[in-house]
Amino acid sequence: MIVDLKLCNRTVLDELLSRNEYLVVQGNDLAKSFGNLKAFEHKILDYCFSYVQKDSQPEERFTLQIADLLKYLGLTSSGTNYKRVVSAFKVLNENTALYLPIEENGVKGIMMTQLFGYINYLETGLVHFEFSKYAQPYVFDLKKNFYSFHLRELARVKGKYALILLKLWEANRFRDSRVTIINGTLDEWQGWFLGEDKRIPAGRFLRDVITRAAEELEEKFHIEIVLDTKKHKRNVVGYEMEIIDNRMVEKPHVIDAPYDDNEFQTSIDDYLEDGRVFP
d(CA 196, CA 36): 7
Q: What pLDDT sits at residue 239?
A: 95
The DSSP line for 211-223 is: HHHHHHHHHHSSE
Written as tens digits, the pLDDT of the chain (279 aa) is: 444 545 555 665 566 555 434 455 555 667 666 777 888 888 888 888 888 877 778 788 999 999 999 988 888 988 899 999 999 999 999 988 888 888 888 888 888 888 999 999 998 889 999 999 888 888 877 665 555 455 666 777 888 898 889 888 877 877 778 899 999 999 999 988 988 778 999 999 999 999 999 999 999 888 899 999 999 988 999 999 999 988 754 444 433 444 344 443 344 444 444 443 443
Q: What pLDDT sits at residue 38?
A: 85
The answer, as to whether pTM is greater than 0.85, is no
Choices 1.10.10.10, 1.10.4190.10, 1.10.490.10, 3.30.230.70: CATH for 1-147: 1.10.10.10
d(CA 48, CA 160): 17
Sign of the CA dihedral running 238, 23, 50, 248: negative
Q: What pLDDT sits at residue 256?
A: 40
- Which of 30, 44, 91 minimizes the C-alpha distance to 271? 44
- Under 8 Å between Cβ of 53 and 213: no
Q: What pLDDT sits at residue 230?
A: 93
Q: What pLDDT sits at residue 28?
A: 60
3-state SS of 95-125? CCEEEEEEEECCEEEEEEEECEEEEEECCCC
Q: What pLDDT sits at residue 117?
A: 93
Residues of the chain with CATH 1.10.10.10: 1-147, 148-263+273-277
CATH topology of domain 148-263+273-277: Arc Repressor Mutant, subunit A (1.10.10)
